[in-house]
Amino acid sequence: MDSEEFRKNGYKLIDWITDYYQHIEEYPVKAQVKPGVIYQALPENAPENHEDFDAILADFDNTLLEGMTHWQSPSFFAYFNANTSFPSILGELLTSAIGAQCMIWETSPAAAELEEKVCEWMKKACGIPDAWDGVIQDTASTATLCALLMAREKHSNFMINKYGFLAGSKYIIYCSSEAHSSIEKGVKIAGFGSDQIRKIRVDSKFAMMPEVLNKQIVDDLNAGFVPLCVVSAIGTTGSHGIDTIHEISKICKRYAIFHHVDAAHAGNATILPEFQWMIDGLDAADSYVFNPHKWMFTNFDCSLFYTKDKQALIKTFDILPEYLKTDVDSKVNNYRDWGIQLGRRFRALKLWFVLRSYGLEGIRTKFRLHISLAQEFAARLRKDGRFELLAPVPLNLICFRYKPVGVESLDQLNELNKLLEQKINETGKAYITHTKLLGKYTLRMCIGQTNVEKRHVDAFWELLEAKISKL
């Protein structure tokens, strides 16, 4: 493809994207294909010779699109959103066009300095402690892994980095029973065993119980274990439980335990001053992550990771071969040492596009709409009488089940709600997912897609009613 063909095809693709968004509500939100169908439709071998862009795009339309779930549909209420927006798409396009490796300052000074700047902007906008430093990671999973490694190295005075795990290491990591699976995965990758994680009981709001945490730590100390790290959560995936950061920080301080806070989705809402209470006491913790790539209209991947001890983070990962040494190393941020991988994408660019294009106030306006739509929907469920809310609704995630009069058995209700979820999703008109809370099959509806409006939520209510009437 030469540059003039690129120009022509590029315009075509932008037209395709624009049409896609204009017609996105016509696609089934959840892909309706059966396993293996797309694979079978694809040729056995890669083409030996050039194929035209038009043919490639046509095949995308005719073969692949059917197998895509439309995460950017305003009726996508599943999981947590992985939002994008037009400014973000353009920022991402520019990132791929420039194609820079942003591993050290010298390989792209603007990338390093913009990353520093947007991390500072977000720190101020979201009430994150002033003295902390931020870096953009790919995902919250990676950020949490970095925090675990940092906790491990700080505690061992960087000796595990040097000698590996000494036999008999008895480190313990704590999180709530509602914490995200990425914590358990991080624990495994960081070299601990699954027996070294303690899942602390939650209260009726699905928040970690500090007194239970405290008791578990004391029991572990008495048994000769070494409490290393607590990962608390703001906005758990299953239930949007919000751990009490200041209480947990106090306990961590008492026993000199590293405290990492995972706010992957809900942390975005701290851009609203009225939700900054969720991170009260964060300054006493050690590190914090949230994902603009979930709610803040910024393409996956973009995860903001903050720490109060940047030197410890850098020392955890620091390896400096001759070929990466530069004359400015002592004066700049070389982000290769702030995380796991060497090569880094220019992720700050799309976030910068989003922040400038919406402005903080534009983002706040949309978030307030999403939260109010969720609150109204929850109120409707409460009032109706046929439903049960299974968790509080502090933000935009509603956990509920259908509970018709006369059906009391847990198994029956679980089956009924599983069927309801399936019936809703197979219409392609909306997409919800589920979890289990206290053994109850729970329908999860997250109202947070970039372009969701009241009419989409109203249409979901009608769909729910229609499906219930036929159960």
Ligand X SMILES: Cc1ncc(COP(=O)(O)O)c(C=O)c1O
For ligand X, the binding residues (CB under 6 A) are 80, 139-141, 180, 182, 233, 236-237, 262, 264-265, 291, 303
Nearer to ligand X, 108 or 141 (CB): 141
- Element containing residue 258 per DSSP (H, E): strand 258-262
CB of 248 to ligand X, least distance (A): 16
Closest CA to 260 of 312, 203, 324: 312
CB of 365 to ligand X, least distance (A): 24
Q: Which two tokens stand for residue 314?
A: 């850098």
C-beta separation of 309 from 154 below 8 A: yes
Cα gap 333→254, rounded to integer Å? 33
Nearer to ligand X, 180 or 456 (CB): 180
Q: How many residues are recorded in the chain? A: 471
CB of 143 to ligand X, least distance (A): 8
Nearer to ligand X, 262 or 337 (CB): 262
Nearer to ligand X, 140 or 257 (CB): 140
DSSP string, 80-137: S-----HHHHHHHHHHHHH----SSGGG-HHHHHHHHHHHHHHHHHHT--TT-EEEEE
DSSP string, 393-442: -SSSEEEEEE--TT---HHHHHHHHHHHHHHHHHTTS-B-EEEEETTEEE
CB of 140 to ligand X, least distance (A): 4
CB of 374 to ligand X, least distance (A): 16
Nearer to ligand X, 104 or 266 (CB): 266
Sort strands 387-389 and 226-233 into parallel, antiparallel or unpaired. unpaired
Cα gap 393→399, rounded to integer Å? 8
CB of 264 to ligand X, least distance (A): 3
Nearer to ligand X, 133 or 178 (CB): 178
Closest CA to 87 of 264, 367, 298: 298
Nearer to ligand X, 141 or 442 (CB): 141
Nearer to ligand X, 104 or 289 (CB): 289
SS3 236: coil
CB of 300 to ligand X, least distance (A): 8
CB of 182 to ligand X, least distance (A): 4
C-beta separation of 263 from 278 below 8 A: yes
Closest CA to 393 of 416, 411, 377, 409: 377
Cα gap 83→87, rounded to integer Å? 12
Helices 181-189 & 140-155 angle (0-180, nearest 10): 50
Helices 140-155 & 310-317 angle (0-180, nearest 10): 90
Q: Report DSSP state, residue 365.
A: H
**Residue 268 φ/ψ region, left for φ over 0, alpha for ψ in the -120 to 50 degree band, beta for the rest:** alpha
Nearer to ligand X, 88 or 303 (CB): 303
Q: Which two tokens stand for residue 145?
A: 């892994």
CB of 181 to ligand X, least distance (A): 8
CB of 207 to ligand X, least distance (A): 13
Nearer to ligand X, 180 or 401 (CB): 180
Residues linked to residue 230 through DSSP beta bridges, in sequence order: 174, 259
Nearer to ligand X, 325 or 436 (CB): 436
SS3 205: coil
CB of 242 to ligand X, least distance (A): 11
